């Protein structure tokens, strides 16, 4: 495991003691701090102004009650969160996650990651994240609507196009953004398009936002392949998850000539040597809100479904974890290495455990961290904000080209920065340092706030 620079040990210890039990937040902070040794050595001004300690403390954390009534007339209760982490570069920006596992530690890890990711995009957006322990699974659309309306009835007072701009994440897609935007509009009496991103195309949304995270991850891998004079042509790819990020990662891999042979959900995974049938997967997941097992049943004997074991035992040259945090562990990394995997790129946020990351690194597998590889989603959200601000809308082609250009630029910045700080080819170091220095310099310029 990488070690922490001596100067940064007390900073990390303070994060652990001030945020007890928030293990995902500790993990995300540690992973960034591990890269910053050479930066603090070169730039004493950051320590003088306590930039890193301030960066690890959210600017504001909001926790609120979300009561709602289910279809049977019973009162239900959930907890809502919005962590406004850092606004040095722009209004807080980051998604909302609705999943039973959500608690403050998850929201803080995601908000912390978001600061550096948003900085890497080069767009004027700060970092934040929110969500709820609400479980949308098995709930009717009417229940989801009532939950979203209750959630926004409190959240509205904290957000705004110049303050904080939420979007989707796990469990929050176009349907939920619609209900949230509707309630925001109702309680504020303002058609403030720029307050949320991921909106529908007929009411202020941007082309390509739905596809952006998955497409962007694959564009990033394309840059990695191009750097070694290689391409997706004929490559076997495994994508975990089957939600928004996974579906559009699969689509772009197929468009670029690769073959995705497996995908998953939290119940199991499906393997299909001839390639996942994306039209059917979209129908099952997006239209019917079904499961990967339903997809497998519809495909018959060409697909093998398994509810046991790990998707990472499926041989591939490229692995794209696109489901959730810590879904790829040490044992999985060993399997990937043994099967000849060459590239792992994180479509999800922090899906690879620290042990797995270290094993992949030691084995020479090229590894793209989420804050670089999945930044295409939030970058396209920033393009949505631009279009809203100018009351304009761009074509699919133009927006996709902007996304591709952003991913090229992030890839370039990662490699250039890694090289400058003596870790040539290390995307983790490059992403962390490039993301950090831009925010840190802004924080220095803005004074002790």
Q: How far is the CB of 336 from ligand 2IT (least distance, A)?
A: 23
For position 243 contacting ligand 2IT by CB under 6 A, the verdict is: no
Q: Which of 90, 94, 321, 351 binds ligand 2IT (CB under 6 A)?
A: 94
435 binds, among ligand 2IT, ligand NDP, none (CB under 5 to 8 A by kind): none
Tokens of residue 309, six digits = 């074991």
Q: Which of 90, 95, 351, 369 binds ligand 2IT (CB under 6 A)?
A: 95
Q: Which of 26, 82, 93, 185 binds ligand 2IT (CB under 6 A)?
A: 93
Q: Residues touching ligand 2IT: how many (CB under 6 A)? A: 12
CB atoms within 10 A of CB 222: 21
Nearest to 120 by CA among 376, 323, 418: 376
Q: Which is nearer to ligand NDP, 95 or 166 (CB)?
A: 95
Candidate ranges 82-90, 280-288, 373-381, 412-420; the one touching ligand 2IT (CB under 6 A): 373-381
Q: How far is the CB of 361 from ligand NDP (least distance, A)?
A: 21
Active site residue 129: yes
Q: How far is the CB of 122 from ligand NDP (least distance, A)?
A: 17
Instruction: Beginning with the edge strand found earlier in the chain, give each strand of the sheet holding 126-132 in spatial order.
Output: 60-69, 75-86, 126-132, 92-98, 164-167
Q: Where are the alpha helices (DSSP H) in 76-133?
A: 104-121
Q: How far is the CB of 93 from ligand 2IT (least distance, A)?
A: 5
Task: Give all strands (DSSP E) within 223-341, no chain letters.
Answer: 236-239, 259-265, 268-271, 304-306, 318-320
For position 378 contacting ligand 2IT by CB under 6 A, the verdict is: yes
Candidate ranges 47-55, 239-247, 294-302, 402-410; the one touching ligand NDP (CB under 6 A): 239-247
Q: How far is the CB of 241 from ligand NDP (least distance, A)?
A: 4
Task: Name the helix (H) or strand (E) containing 437.
Answer: helix 427-446
Task: Give the three-state DSSP class for 3.
Answer: coil
For position 381 contacting ligand 2IT by CB under 6 A, the verdict is: yes
Would you tell me the crossing angle of helices 354-362 and 23-33 to the nearest 10 degrees? 30
Q: How far is CA 115 from CA 28, 66, 136, 257, in A?
A: 12, 27, 27, 33
List the x/- string, 158-177, binding to ligand 2IT by CB under 6 A. Answer: ---------x-x--------
241 binds, among ligand NDP, ligand 2IT, none (CB under 5 to 8 A by kind): ligand NDP
Catalytic residue (one of 93, 108, 129, 285) = 129
Tokens of residue 229, six digits = 């004079």
Radius of gyration of the chain from its Cα atoms, rounded to whole angstroms: 21
Q: Which of 149, 183, 324, 387 binds ligand NDP (CB under 6 A)?
A: 324
Q: Which of 58, 128, 168, 258 binds ligand NDP (CB under 6 A)?
A: 168
Nearest to 276 by CA among 313, 297, 247, 256: 247
Query: Alpha-carbon torsion 225, 229, 231, 237, what sign?
Result: negative
Which residues fall within 8 angstroms of residue 294, CB to CB, at 6 or more apart?
A: 284, 288
For position 435 contacting ligand 2IT by CB under 6 A, the verdict is: no
Which residues fall within 8 angstroms of residue 307, CB to CB, at 6 or more apart?
A: 267, 268, 293
CA 68 – CA 44 distance, rounded (Å): 51
Q: Which is nearer to ligand NDP, 241 or 435 (CB)?
A: 241
Q: Which is nearer to ligand NDP, 266 or 424 (CB)?
A: 266
CA 364 – CA 383 distance, rounded (Å): 35
Tokens of residue 247, six digits = 């579906």
For position 348 contacting ligand NDP by CB under 6 A, the verdict is: yes
Task: Give the three-state DSSP class for 345.
Answer: strand
Q: Which residues bind ligand NDP (CB under 6 A)?
A: 95, 101, 168-171, 213, 241-246, 265-267, 322-324, 327, 347-349, 374, 377
Residues known to be catalytic: 129
Q: Which residues bind ligand 2IT (CB under 6 A)?
A: 93-95, 114, 117, 167, 169, 197, 349, 377-378, 381
């Amino acid at each position: 495991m990488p070690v922490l620079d001596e100067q940064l040990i007390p900073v990390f210890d303070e994060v652990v003691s001030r945020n007890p039990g928030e293990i995902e937040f500790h993990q995300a902070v540690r992973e960034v701090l591990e890269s910053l040794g050479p930066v603090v050595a070169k730039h004493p001004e950051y320590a003088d102004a306590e930039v890193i300690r301030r960066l690890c403390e959210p600017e504001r954390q909001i926790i609120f009650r979300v009561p709602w009534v289910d279809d049977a007339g019973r009162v239900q209760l959930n907890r809502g969160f919005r962590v406004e982490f850092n606004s040095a570069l722009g209004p807080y920006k980051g998604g909302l996650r609705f999943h039973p596992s959500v608690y403050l530690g998850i929201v803080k890890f995601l908000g912390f990651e978001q600061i550096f990711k948003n900085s890497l995009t080069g767009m004027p957006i700060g970092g934040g994240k929110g969500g709820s322990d609400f479980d949308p699974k098995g709930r009717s659309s009417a229940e989801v609507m009532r939950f979203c309306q209750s959630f926004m009835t409190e959240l509205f007072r904290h957000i705004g196009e110049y303050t904080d701009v939420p979007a989707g994440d796990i469990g929050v897609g176009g349907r939920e953004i619609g209900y949230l935007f509707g309630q925001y509009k109702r309680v504020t009496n303002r058609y403030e398009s720029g307050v949320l991103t991921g909106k529908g195309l007929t009411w202020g949304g941007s082309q390509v936002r739905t596809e952006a995270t998955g497409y962007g991850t694959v564009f990033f891998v394309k840059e990695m392949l191009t750097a070694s004079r290689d391409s997706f042509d004929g490559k076997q790819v495994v994508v975990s998850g089957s939600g928004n990020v996974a579906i559009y990662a699969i689509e772009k891999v197929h468009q670029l000539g690769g073959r995705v042979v497996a995908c998953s959900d939290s119940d199991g995974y499906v393997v299909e040597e001839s390639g996942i049938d994306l039209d059917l997967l979209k129908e099952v997941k997006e239209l019917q809100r079904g499961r990967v097992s339903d997809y497998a049943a519809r495909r018959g004997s060409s697909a093998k479904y398994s509810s046991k074991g790990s998707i990472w035992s499926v041989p591939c040259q490229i692995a794209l974890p696109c489901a959730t945090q810590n879904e790829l562990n040490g044992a999985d990394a060993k399997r990937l290495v043994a099967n000849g995997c060459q590239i792992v790129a994180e479509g999800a946020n922090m899906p690879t455990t620290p042990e797995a990351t270290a094993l992949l690194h030691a084995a020479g597998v090229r590894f793209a961290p989420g804050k670089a590889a999945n930044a295409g989603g939030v970058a396209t959200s920033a393009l949505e904000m631009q279009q809203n601000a100018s009351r304009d809308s761009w074509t699919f082609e133009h927006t996709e080209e902007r996304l591709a250009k952003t991913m090229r630029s992030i890839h370039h910045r990662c490699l250039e920065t890694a090289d400058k700080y003596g870790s040539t080819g290390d995307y983790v170091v490059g992403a962390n340092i490039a993301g950090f220095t831009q925010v840190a310099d802004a924080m220095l310029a803005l004074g002790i706030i």
